[in-house]
């Protein structure tokens, strides 16, 4: 304390002496002598030294002035120098444009080409459009892919110049083939430090598998491009779109300019025309035993409409829900193949569904053929009845109709390989958005349902329901029998891996995010697939590294729902290792995700392909683990997850340990955080 006091006193004395010096200087300034004039132009430090010397010689110390004290204590007001700030940067308006279309999440790893936009999202937008931190651009786009499939609407991603766009390319391709809308913004900074990050035509890198791209030159165009991009992305066929934003227009000042974000106008979706609507409704009502195959629709609203139409008609319904989202509930009483032996006399197919996108192989529409299951009427082939009249094609003269998003009937959406339609177009083929076509069909059906027809519908619905209970009871028994195989074996069978989850999730609102193609298909057999987001389906183009990041998107949708929805992802090991940083994103953003590792320690399908190849060449299969195994050393996924900040258990090879581990992990998930259980599994 003594030392402190001493220091304090010394400081006071210093201030007094400084004040004396200043006073002496001031006196000198007002003295009109030649000496004084000289002193006024001399360095003040000399005068200060002289004053100090006099003060030190015993002159009384004056108190500091209020200005001096203010300066000394930090209360001084700095001189009024205009700050070099941008008050209303262009990127603020870009954020406003993103808000205008309803974007709620943007995911990216940082890049200097969009620093202006990122700053605006966080500060101008107050992070209302929540910035989700990615560790890889591919993860960001794949997350947006999963989000769109869970929500039926796009989120946004930011990509850093040429390098970010190329990192993202595989995920963009998956989303394109899967017909999933994503709004992507690429930064382009001509002033940036690395010229190689720039391109004259940024969109060219991924133009082969994006639906639309733009590189606006002005801020006004940029705002319009964001709204236009969103419109195009959500208009069938839905797909990713890209807008390239230069750093220049992100950072330009807009104060004093009459520029604003116009209200967003949602696009008019292409619906079946009036004539086609009437013909389909008439055929449905006149059919003795109609069937409606529901593929993947655009949004949850479309699923509700499909249910309404099916119930209105008491029709049997096919579902693509075990292939992907936005299809007919698997537990609905009308879902099934109807009464055995009673032929279907009219089939309406709504879009295609499931894996492969593009309407190619295995449209995912179950049951009778999606297209042309009966002889066509003359002139019925075509697009939405174009070139035909109601009189030339009598109602009921065709036995099937399909409504497919524009572009899918003929072009397969620019994806090569298998054709665009499932089978020949023998029925009435309508190029339109099925979801938007349903309201018209429903209204028309209602107008045609007489009292007699309604009695027939009620009778048909009752018979279908009874038949479907029988069918689904058999399905359920078969699913459980499949889950029983190798029940007590070690490593853990895939059937048991799934079945042990059942008691924990049977009463939960669950989204199954990962593809079931490599996990034995148990998830879509054993768990409820009754909501538009119950199962999100496959990668689209089969690009690995999709499941884990798509789960992030599903997790965002679940967290946003705020009703306790959880995400369960049966995660293959090969897929996770493409970009495992998504585990950190799950932990950082507190996403309610249970990840269960299907850890068979290899790229198992590829191993089997290699074995067959070696057999054909009679060279032996004993070295086919080379290049297909993830052994030596084994990867510890629990430790990996823990390193990223997530609760995790495992590896577990004894099936008896599963229930406990799942319970503990699920407890975390229900509290709103991710958890992982690493399970060593049978290969298949």
Which of positions 635-674 make contact with other proteins (CB under 8 A)? 653
CB 172 within 8 A of CB 141: yes
Shortest Å distance, C-beta 515 to other proteins? 17
CB burial of 349-379 (b: ≥16 within 10 Å; e: otherwise) equals bbbbbbbbbbbbebbbbbbbbbbbbbebbee
3-state secondary structure of 63: coil
Identify which range of 60-68, 80-88, 152-160, 475-483 contacts other proteins by CB under 8 A. Answer: 475-483
Task: Show the tokens assigned to 644.
Answer: 């990223």
Considering beta carbons, is residue 244 or 528 the nearer one to other proteins? 528
Strands (E), 427-565: 428-431, 510-512
Considering beta carbons, is residue 389 or 507 the nearer one to other proteins? 507
At CA 682, angle to CA 678 and CA 684, rounded to 5?
A: 115
Considering only 343, 489, 564, 627, the residue that binds other proteins (CB under 8 A) is 489
Considering beta carbons, is residue 304 or 619 the nearer one to other proteins? 619
Shortest Å distance, C-beta 378 to other proteins? 39
Q: Is residue 478 within the footprint of other proteins (CB under 8 A)?
A: no
For residue 491, say if its preceding peptide bond is cis, omega within 30 degrees of 0: yes
CB 154 within 8 A of CB 103: yes
* CA proximity to 636, closest of 601, 669, 664: 601
Q: Under rule CB under 8 A, how many of the chain's residues touch other proteins?
A: 62
Non-local (6+) Cβ contacts of 587 within 8 A are 644, 645, 646, 673, 674
Map tokens 């995912």 to a residue: 364
Considering only 14, 190, 274, 476, the residue that binds other proteins (CB under 8 A) is 476
CA–CA separation, 123 vs 118, rounded Å? 9
Considering beta carbons, is residue 221 or 475 the nearer one to other proteins? 475
Which of positions 330-359 make contact with other proteins (CB under 8 A)? 330-333
Identify which range of 31-39, 75-83, 99-107, 324-332 contacts other proteins by CB under 8 A. Answer: 324-332
Task: Show the tokens assigned to 74.
Answer: 């930090």
Shortest Å distance, C-beta 476 to other proteins? 5
Shortest Å distance, C-beta 607 to other proteins? 5
Identify which range of 190-198, 271-279, 476-484, 639-647 contacts other proteins by CB under 8 A. Answer: 476-484
Considering beta carbons, is residue 253 or 466 the nearer one to other proteins? 466
CA–CA separation, 181 vs 266, rounded Å? 14
Strands (E), 195-315: 212-214, 240-246, 290-294
DSSP character for 335? B
Shortest Å distance, C-beta 311 to other proteins? 14
Considering only 127, 424, 473, 663, the residue that binds other proteins (CB under 8 A) is 473
CA–CA separation, 429 vs 125, rounded Å? 46
Pairing of strands 156-160, 182-188: parallel
C-alpha dist (Å) from residue 81 to 34, 78, 88: 36, 8, 20
Non-local (6+) Cβ contacts of 667 within 8 A are none
Identify which range of 202-210, 283-291, 427-435, 675-683 contacts other proteins by CB under 8 A. Answer: 675-683
Considering only 265, 361, 656, 684, the residue that binds other proteins (CB under 8 A) is 684
CB 157 within 8 A of CB 108: yes
3-state secondary structure of 649: strand
Shortest Å distance, C-beta 375 to other proteins? 33
Strands (E), 304-398: 316-319, 346-350
CA–CA separation, 465 vs 611, rounded Å? 46
User: What x/- string results for residues 595 through 624 when contact with other proteins is judged by CB under 8 A?
Assistant: ------x--xx-xxx-xxxxxx-xxxxx-x
Which of positions 83-122 make contact with other proteins (CB under 8 A)? none
Considering beta carbons, is residue 198 or 323 the nearer one to other proteins? 323
* CA proximity to 497, closest of 362, 564, 594: 594
Considering beta carbons, is residue 582 or 680 the nearer one to other proteins? 680
* CA proximity to 237, closest of 334, 351, 76: 351
Which of positions 562-601 make contact with other proteins (CB under 8 A)? 601
Non-local (6+) Cβ contacts of 629 within 8 A are 601, 602, 607
Considering beta carbons, is residue 149 or 525 the nearer one to other proteins? 525
Pairing of strands 647-652, 675-680: parallel
Considering only 141, 159, 185, 680, the residue that binds other proteins (CB under 8 A) is 680
Torsion of CA 206, 208, 214, 215, to 10 degrees: 50
Considering beta carbons, is residue 68 or 621 the nearer one to other proteins? 621
Considering beta carbons, is residue 225 or 461 the nearer one to other proteins? 461
Considering only 485, 639, 656, 671, the residue that binds other proteins (CB under 8 A) is 485
Considering beta carbons, is residue 25 or 625 the nearer one to other proteins? 625
Map tokens 């007590």 to a residue: 488
Identify which range of 75-83, 99-107, 427-435, 495-503 contacts other proteins by CB under 8 A. Answer: 495-503
Considering only 292, 317, 483, 594, the residue that binds other proteins (CB under 8 A) is 483
Q: Is residue 417 within the footprint of other proteins (CB under 8 A)?
A: no
Which of positions 261-300 make contact with other proteins (CB under 8 A)? none
Non-local (6+) Cβ contacts of 535 within 8 A are 321, 322, 324, 325, 511, 512, 516, 523, 524, 529
CA–CA separation, 15 vs 364, rounded Å? 86
Considering beta carbons, is residue 449 or 480 the nearer one to other proteins? 480
Shortest Å distance, C-beta 524 to other proteins? 10
Considering only 10, 253, 488, 654, the residue that binds other proteins (CB under 8 A) is 488
Considering beta carbons, is residue 174 or 528 the nearer one to other proteins? 528
Q: Tell me phi and psi for residue 455, to 5 degrees.
A: -65, -40
Considering only 224, 396, 581, 683, the residue that binds other proteins (CB under 8 A) is 683
Which of positions 502-561 make contact with other proteins (CB under 8 A)? 502-503, 506, 526, 528-530
Considering only 116, 358, 491, 574, the residue that binds other proteins (CB under 8 A) is 491
Considering beta carbons, is residue 96 or 530 the nearer one to other proteins? 530
Identify which range of 37-45, 388-396, 403-411, 492-500 contacts other proteins by CB under 8 A. Answer: 492-500
Considering only 631, 639, 643, 664, the residue that binds other proteins (CB under 8 A) is 631
What order of strands is seen across the sheet that includes strand 400-404?
316-319, 290-294, 346-350, 400-404, 428-431
- What Rg, from alpha-carbon coordinates, does the chain have? 34
- In the complex, which residues of this chain contact other proteins (CB under 8 A)? 330-333, 469, 472-473, 475-477, 479-481, 483-491, 493-495, 499-500, 502-503, 506, 526, 528-530, 601, 604-605, 607-609, 611-616, 618-622, 624-625, 629, 631-632, 634, 653, 680, 682-684
């Amino acid at each position: 304390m003594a030392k402190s006091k001493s220091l304090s006193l010394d400081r006071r004395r210093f201030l007094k002496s400084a004040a004396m010096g200043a006073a002496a200087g001031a006196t000198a300034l007002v003295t009109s002598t030649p000496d004084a004039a000289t002193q006024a132009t001399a360095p003040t430090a000399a005068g200060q030294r002289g004053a100090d010397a006099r003060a030190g010689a015993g002159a009384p110390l004056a108190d500091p002035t209020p200005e001096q004290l203010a300066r000394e204590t930090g209360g001084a007001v700095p001189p009024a120098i205009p700050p070099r700030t941008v008050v209303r940067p262009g990127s603020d308006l870009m954020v406003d444009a993103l808000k205008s279309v309803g974007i709620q999440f943007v995911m990216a790893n940082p890049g200097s080409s969009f620093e202006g936009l990122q700053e605006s999202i966080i500060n101008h937008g107050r992070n209302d459009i929540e910035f989700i931190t990615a560790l890889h651009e591919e993860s960001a786009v794949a997350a947006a892919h999963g989000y769109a499939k869970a929500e039926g609407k796009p989120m946004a991603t930011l990509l850093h110049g040429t390098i970010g766009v190329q990192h993202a390319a595989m995920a963009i391709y998956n989303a394109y083939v899967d017909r999933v809308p994503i709004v992507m913004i690429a930064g382009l900074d001509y002033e940036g430090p690395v010229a190689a990050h720039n391109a004259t035509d940024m969109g060219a890198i991924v133009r082969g598998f994006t639906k639309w791209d733009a590189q606006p030159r002005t801020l006004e165009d940029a705002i319009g491009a964001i709204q236009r991009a969103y419109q195009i992305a959500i208009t069938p066929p839905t797909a990713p779109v890209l807008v390239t934003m230069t750093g220049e227009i992100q950072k330009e000042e807009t104060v004093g300019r009459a520029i604003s974000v116009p209200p967003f106008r949602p696009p008019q979706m292409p619906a079946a025309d009036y004539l086609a609507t009437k013909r389909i409704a008439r055929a449905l009502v006149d059919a003795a035993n109609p069937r409606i195959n529901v593929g993947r629709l655009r949004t949850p609203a479309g699923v509700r409409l499909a249910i309404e139409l099916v119930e209105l008609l008491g029709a049997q319904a096919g579902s693509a829900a075990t292939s992907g989202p936005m299809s007919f509930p698997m537990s609905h009483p009308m879902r099934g193949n109807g009464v055995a032996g009673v032929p279907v006399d009219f089939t309406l197919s709504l879009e295609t569904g499931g894996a492969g996108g593009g309407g190619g192989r295995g449209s995912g529409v179950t049951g009778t053929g999606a297209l042309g299951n009966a002889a066509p009427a003359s002139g019925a082939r075509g697009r939405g009845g174009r070139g035909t009249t109601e009189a030339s094609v009598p109602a009921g003269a065709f036995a099937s109709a399909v409504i497919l998003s524009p572009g899918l009937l003929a072009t397969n959406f620019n994806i090569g390989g298998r054709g665009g339609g499932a089978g020949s177009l023998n029925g009435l083929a309508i190029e339109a958005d099925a979801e938007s076509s349903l309201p018209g069909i429903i209204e028309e059906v209602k107008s045609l349902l007489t009292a007699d027809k309604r009695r027939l519908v009620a009778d048909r619905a009752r018979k279908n329901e009874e038949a479907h209970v029988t069918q689904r009871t058999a399905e359920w028994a078969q699913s459980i029998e499949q889950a029983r195989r190798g029940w007590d074996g070690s490593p853990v069978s895939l059937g048991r891996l799934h079945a042990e989850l059942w008691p924990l999730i049977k009463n939960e609102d669950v989204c199954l995010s990962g593809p079931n193609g490599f996990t034995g298909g148990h998830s879509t057999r054993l768990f409820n697939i009754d909501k538009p987001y119950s199962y999100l389906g496959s990668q689209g183009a089969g690009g690995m590294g999709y499941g884990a990041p798509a789960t992030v998107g599903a997790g965002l949708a679940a967290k946003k729902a705020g009703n306790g929805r959880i995400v369960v992802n049966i995660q293959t090991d090969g897929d996770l290792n493409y970009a495992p940083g998504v585990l950190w994103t799950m932990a950082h953003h507190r996403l309610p995700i249970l990840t269960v590792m299907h850890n068979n320690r290899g790229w198992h399908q590829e191993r089997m392909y290699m074995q067959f190849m070696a057999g054909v060449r009679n060279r032996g299969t004993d070295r086919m683990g080379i290049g297909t195994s993830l052994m030596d050393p084994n990867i510890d996924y629990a430790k990996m997850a823990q390193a990223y900040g997530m609760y995790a258990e495992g590896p577990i090879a004894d099936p008896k340990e599963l229930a406990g581990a799942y319970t503990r992990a699920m407890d975390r998930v229900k509290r709103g955080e991710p958890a992982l259980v690493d399970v060593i599994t049978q290969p298949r």
